[in-house]
Amino acid sequence: ASYWSHVPAAPPDSILGIASLYRKDPEKNKLNLSVGAYRDDHGNPTVLRVVRKVEQEPASDHEYIPMAGIPSFCQAAAELILGGKAKSIIEKRVVTVQSLSGTGALRVGAEFLYQFYHPTATTEKPHVYIPRPSWGNHRKVFQSAGLKVAEYRYFDSSTCDVDGKGLIEDLKNIPCHSIIVLHACAHNPTGADPSEELWKQILQVVIQKHHLVFFDSAYQGFASGDLEKDAFAVRMFEQSGIEMLVAQSFAKNMGLYGERVGALSFVCKDSSVVSCVQSQLETIIRSMYSSPPANGARIASRILNDPVLLGEWKQELLEMSGRIQEMRKMLYEELVSRKTPGNWSHITKQIGMFSFTGLNVEQVRYLREKYHIYMTEDGRASMAGLSRETVSMFADGIHDAVV
Ligand code: PMP
């Protein structure tokens, strides 16, 4: 008998499972709104023009890069999210390592927290609090590093908006020094972000309760089209002088999904801790995968460090985010013109790749079976998966499902 005959099948990933149902569906006019990747108006994957351009430049070699990644990439990534003139950068209080996209940044950060975050003398380790709901992988990433995961209230399904009151209450009531995961912008899966006012309140509670913030930034520039605007919350927290962690992904905003380009930054209170933190991060990386892949980070570094390429990238960010916003507007208008029961204003108010439509599981299944439209069962639909041609079909389906 095999050593593995007792191994049970793992439950399928809720998002990738839907994608696999979609692939098996023989219907020609099917529509996949489950995946988190940008598509153009013809439903095709997009390679950014600026990325294509940089890809023409031959790599000088295929040597290993350092454990912490390419220094020019790390520096530029930190400046992109914190701001080039951030006090923490000028004061050399930031440690940044390259990571295997956003997931890898979270995972290495989680490992570091497990090993070194002991803010009090008690034996109980701080828990990680993620929003309810959150990106499905958050819980697993932190748990697999040995951390305990709990949730704070985030979304109010009756208004399809952030539950500001519940969120603040929860952050106040949980133990001091808890680890708080915050989506930097374009919250996944809800598309609902805190207002500036609410961000200020969150920061106040974080300071009062000495919580440790771990920002997850997966959509900078991709959400609003403006790199600065999408970094608002992270920069406000940085300016307050607190210590925090930031995970960055370049999957969506540079379209480098499979290249696994990301960064993990520790914003520290004091530059004296920087070299030890850096050395321990390198030790963690060494034991997990030795060193990160070179190709994607080389591309990103070229773009981030060259003013002309940077300008071209910003233009393409506007195009991608603009198309998504147009899809939101069209979908909203199609539903209003059908007089579909319900208030659909959240579709245009929400931001980023996804809309939390408010459809329930039965309605989502109905759409899948009758219309061959695939979305995750929580009612999340990728606005990037829609096109001018398919938006009316989606509106027909929603209308039919809710009346
Ligand atoms: N965090 C959030 C909130 C996300 O939506 C994603 C992408 N789906 C990620 C992290 C990480 O993705 P990746 O590892 O591909 O960068």
pTM: 0.96
- Rounded alpha-carbon distances, angstroms, from residue 352 to 59, 177, 185, 232: 33, 30, 8, 15
The pLDDT score that the predictor gives to residue 110 is: 98
Instruction: Determine contact, residues 130/190, Cβ cutoff 8 Å.
Output: no
Q: At 84, phi and psi to the nearest 5?
A: -60, -30
Question: How much is the pLDDT for 120?
Answer: 83
CA separation for the pair 17, 287 (Å, rounded): 31
CA 151 to the chain's CA centroid: 17
Ligand 1 atom with minimal separation from the 101 CA? 16
Among 16, 108, 135, residue to substitute to test ligand 1 (most atoms within 8 Å of Cβ): 135
Burial letters for 278-312: b for 16+ Cβ neighbours within 10 Å, e otherwise? beebbebbeeeeeebbbebbbbbbbbbeeeebbeb
The protein residue with its alpha carbon nearest to ligand 1, atom 10, reads 102
| ipTM (interface pTM) | 0.98
User: What pLDDT, on a 0 to 100 scale, did the predictor assign at position 320?
Assistant: 96
Residue 381 β-bridge partners = 355
Tokens at residue 59, please? 């790599």
Q: How far apart (Å, rounded) are the C-alpha atoms in residues 97 and 77?
A: 10
Query: Residue of the nearest CA to atom 5 in ligand 1?
Result: 188
Q: Give pLDDT, residue 15.
A: 80
CA distances from 191 to 155, 194, 335, 347 (A): 10, 10, 19, 9
The residue annotated as part of the active site, out of 161, 193, 252, 344, is 252
Q: How far apart are CA 39 and CA 54, in angstroms?
A: 21
pLDDT tens digit at each of 403 positions of the chain: 999 999 999 988 878 789 889 999 999 999 999 988 999 999 899 999 999 999 999 888 999 999 999 999 999 999 999 999 999 999 999 999 999 999 999 999 999 999 999 998 777 889 999 999 999 999 999 999 999 999 999 999 888 899 999 999 999 999 999 999 999 999 999 999 999 999 999 999 999 999 999 999 999 999 999 999 999 999 999 999 999 999 999 999 999 999 999 999 999 999 999 999 999 999 999 999 999 999 999 999 999 999 999 999 999 999 999 999 999 999 999 999 999 999 999 999 999 999 999 999 999 999 999 999 999 999 999 999 999 999 999 999 999 999 9
And the tokens for 194?
């805190």
Beta strands in 218-285 (DSSP E): 244-249, 261-267
